[in-house]
Chains A and B, each alone.
Chain A
């Protein structure tokens, strides 16, 4: 079972307390954008076999959305951070780089 530390209430929350919310840091393209951008925003996801950044909600807890770095291949959790962030915090990226040399996710490396 996955265990995340909720960055707001500090609880070590188990998977059953949480709701998964899909990929994090998705850039929104709305009316007026190109077809390609709109399609990418709506449907295309990274779906990596490896480190992934995701949205989670502490549904059966404080109820707030947060972001997490997790490996989809080993289920290892590298850390969680508040949702009001456009880029993962440096300490989390450092932890990932140390364990996964050569890691890449969109323009993050």
Chain B
């Protein structure tokens, strides 16, 4: 596969861009693979990439029922941060954020990581205390965050109305090395490298059944025929319960719709990411100039990848109190994704009751930021049977009561 570089761009410019090859091969399923990953989103592709890069396992297929990166990877608001309260979360999210720093170089693919800074607004006294606590926890965990004053908030984000009256800004938790990245590019970059290592990416290949024998996985039934494997990784977010049922076990997961929307593009007006938990909204400005706004989840189980208008109204109504300039903006697009929620709002990276099957799910409303760390831990778990980053995120924590309670972490209604 050809390297992307400034020289390659110049070379192709001179020959009408006729020399660019496919970013990943079009593959036909083989009869058998060492590892099958179900789900070619960010987490699935990252798992495959680190299996190859860190452990030399390249006889891998990545199955995707739709198109690559078409699920939550293509539907999120692209925010990257690691300011979590609990130690296991901070470890894995900070690992991910750290990997994002050099991901473009590692993948030879510009993922446009932009560490522009993320602030989480404290708009009630309760939040002030909560975020001060998180800032202290982060200092101990080695995650760079600080609690900043309303004046600093206003300096960093002048378009904000910090005076209220209903939602005054009392401070914020500021992570200067948080930011955003181009979500599609993350999936495409990983896919290109996986393909380069000889892995097969099979799109429009839906898993319809999981074959097991004597409590161990044998392979999967797919719309492209049966495929055998030694190990199976399920990385399918909202559809985890459906696949787990096929494999014969249950998950502590409920699938809900989370939605987001973007405005018409405007001139640059905000160069940080702002999350406002009290008003259930978060916002950043994309490189195209659109204001990217994330809202809350529906309160009920839902597999339809769309939102509902009254949630948009709620989100925008609250946001314009803090960002009055939004009131004149037209909204362009709105969409939904199916998020997989666990009881403690922390992910599951775990072996399962079926031998050879591993699951990576439960990222809920905040999976994009974790993609590199999640793939890193999942690959280690699948290759070695044990991963320090993943060990607290096992399925058994629900039996043993060892929750990693991050239920206030994502800053949205859930």
Contacts and interface: CB of A to CB of B under 8 A. Distances in A.
Nearest to A14: B310
A1 interface: yes
A44 B242 CA distance: 13
A1 B308 contact: yes
A29 B302 CA distance: 27
Nearest to A46: B241
Interface stretch (B8-16, B251-259, B372-380): B251-259
Contacts of B343: 42-43
Report the interface size class on chain B: 20 to 34
B301 A72 contact: yes
B251 A39 contact: no
B299 interface: yes
Contact of A35 (B242, B304, B399): B399
Interface string B330-351: 0000000000001100000000
Contact of A15 (B251, B255, B310): B310
Interface in A54-81: 54, 70, 72-75
**DSSP majority for the B interface?**
mixed
B300 interface: yes
Contacts of B301: 47-48, 52, 54, 72
B300 A54 contact: yes
B407 to A, nearest CB: 14
Interface in B294-318: 298-304, 308-310
Contacts of A49: 239, 241-242, 255, 303
A56 B201 CA distance: 42
B67 interface: no
Nearest to B249: A44
Contact of A45 (B252, B303, B304, B310): B252
Interface in B264-319: 298-304, 308-310
B304 A74 contact: yes
Contacts of B300: 2, 20, 54, 70, 72
Contacts of A85: none
Interface string B8-46: 000000000000000000000000000000000000000
Contacts of A1: 308-310
A78 to B, nearest CB: 15
Contacts of B242: 49
B308 A44 contact: no
Given A16-B310, A44-B252, A72 B398 contact: no
Nearest to A56: B300
A73 B308 contact: no
A73 B242 CA distance: 12
Interface in A1-55: 1-2, 15-16, 19-20, 22, 35-36, 39-40, 42-49, 52, 54
Interface string B235-255: 000010110000000111111
Interface string B342-381: 1100000000000000000000000000000000000000
B302 A75 contact: yes
B302 A72 contact: yes
9 residue pairs, one from A and one from B, having the closest CB atoms: A43-B252, A20-B299, A20-B300, A47-B241, A49-B303, A73-B303, A72-B301, A43-B398, A44-B250
8 contacts: A20-B298, A22-B254, A36-B399, A39-B399, A54-B300, A72-B255, A72-B301, A75-B302
